[in-house]
Each structure stands twice: as C-alpha cells, then as structure tokens.
Amino acid sequence: MNRIGETFLSAGRPLFIAFTVAGDPDFDRSVAAARALIEGGADIIELGVPFSDPVADGPTIQRADCRALGAGMTPEMVFTLVRRIRLFSTVPVVLLTYYNIVHHYGIPRFYRDAGGAGVDGILIADMPVEESGPVMKVAKETGIDQIFMVCETTSPERFERILKNAQGFLYLVSHMGVTGVLTALPPGATALVRSVREKTTMPLAVGFGIATPDHAAGIARAGADAAIAGSAIVAIIEENMDDQECMVDALKKYASSMRNAMNRPGEAGMG
C-alpha cells in the first residue's frame, strides 16, 4: 500500500483531491499553487501533465495546458515539479496524463522517472483498460497505483476488468462530456456512486463538474470517498495570474472550504 491507500485508510472521512495543471501559468507559480492547496487542506494533489490535445478537458483546463506548454513545461519538468513539492509535503501526488505522452516518453522510463520523483498514482485519461497491459506491468513494478475512470455508460464487462486492474481509487466521471464548472451537482452523480459502491469497497473519487462545497458534500453523502475539483481551481489561478499573493490566498480559502465540506457532508445542501 502506498501513500494513496494509506491516506484513504487513515483519514476517517471523505477526502478532497485538488487538480491543477503542472506548470500553469509557469513553474514557480505552479509550485506556489500546489503548496497553497496543500496548506488549505487538500488531501491529494492531482497534476495534469500539459498536453496539446486534452480531449477529456473543457476550455478552462485547455487554456491552462496552453499556458503551461507556452511556459516550456515538459514531462521532465513535471517530474522536477513533483520533486519540488516533495521538499515540503508528503501528500500523495497523482498525475493525469494522456497515452501519447507516456508512449512517446517510453512507458518504463515514464513510470520509473515518475516514481523516482515521488508520484504515487497515474491516470491515463484516454487509455482503455483493454489496452493497459504494458502499462499495468510497469506500474506494478514501480509501485505506482494505476487509476482508471468509470462512468455511467461503462459496461458490466468493462467494469469488472477495470476492478481487476485498478489501484488506489476509482475515478468516477460525474457526467458525460468534458471537465468544467457546473452550477449544480449532475443528477446522475449520486446514482453512479451508489451503483458502483454496491460492487466494490475500493475508494471512489468523483470528478468532472465538482466545484462547490455543496457538490462535495452531496457526493460524500452518496457514499463517495473523495471529491475531485479541477476547473474551479484552474479558474482561480487564471483570474489571479498577475497577483501571486491573491492567488495563493484564494486557493487556500477554496481548498479549506472543500475540505470542510468533506469533514461535515451532512451539513451542506445539494448544489
């Protein structure tokens, strides 16, 4: 069991997972953002590896990818950024990436370098479980949790195959489409959590559209083990790029509000 499993096991409450794009808007401010989220209470940091064609992401995260790439971020620099985070925190770090990046870098090398930097889990957003064999082999060798996505259209057969391979937690996609801030919790999100919970005891983390404390509390009440927020965090960074102090303060406050919602899920209303 690595840091992800230990964190879920020891928390005694649902977790808050904070997503940001590595290197957005540049290396130093990205490190500052990660530190602010951790100090605000994020239990796990999820870093997006900047990519030119992030098909699972909406416009907010797409713009962040463009800013990070424009600032010169590469996979090697992402690993350097993780090592920088490791200087001040042992919070689990998960990478969200796309298969093209891993394949081009070299699967064994990518996982070895990620593990050496301090990465605990990797989610390859566009990798079907049916084609995950080479990745799973290296993930197990390096002790990195391979995380998979599950959505409402995942077939029973594919779900069973995912369960046999997934490690760390299952990433439940709250609604069909791409990432982005929603005004209300997607109506199918709680049903998806309850349906998957009947089939496994593996930690369940819900993402896509989760943006407010009410959203987080709602999915916690449904039985989820974690809420993942991304676009709302990236929007804070985007809105405060010219004032790092304001950015850090806003990120700390946001992370604290999300963490508190997971501490007391019964006290917030549905979003």
Residue-wise pLDDT for 51-64, tens only, equals 988 776 778 999 99
Residue 271: inside a domain = no
List the catalytic residue out of 24, 39, 43, 57.
Answer: 57
Residue-wise pLDDT for 220-264, tens only, equals 998 999 999 999 999 999 999 999 999 999 999 999 999 999 875
Domain count, the chain: 1
Residue 157: inside a domain = yes
Q: What is the pLDDT of residue 257?
A: 96
Residue 136: inside a domain = yes
Provide the mean pLDDT of the chain.
Answer: 91
**Tokens found for residue 59:** 């416009």
Write out the residue range of the structural domain in which residue 201 sits: 3-7+16-266
Q: Is the pLDDT of residue 110 over 50?
A: yes
Half-sphere exposure of 103 (CA within 13 A, CB side): 8
- Which domain CATH number covers 50? 3.20.20.70
Residue 161: inside a domain = yes
Q: Is the pLDDT of residue 270 over 50?
A: no
Residue-wise pLDDT for 172-229, tens only, equals 997 554 454 555 676 778 889 999 999 999 999 999 889 999 999 988 998 999 999 9
Contact yes or no for 19/230 (Cβ under 8 A): yes
**Three-class SS state of 61:** helix
Residue 56: inside a domain = yes
Residue 134: inside a domain = yes
List the catalytic residue out of 24, 43, 46, 145.
Answer: 46
Q: What is the pLDDT of residue 184?
A: 62
Q: Assess whether 46 carries a catalytic annotation.
A: yes
Distance of CA 202 to the CA centre of its chain: 16
Residue 82: inside a domain = yes
Average pLDDT (77-83) is 98
Q: Assess whether 57 carries a catalytic annotation.
A: yes
Residue 192: inside a domain = yes
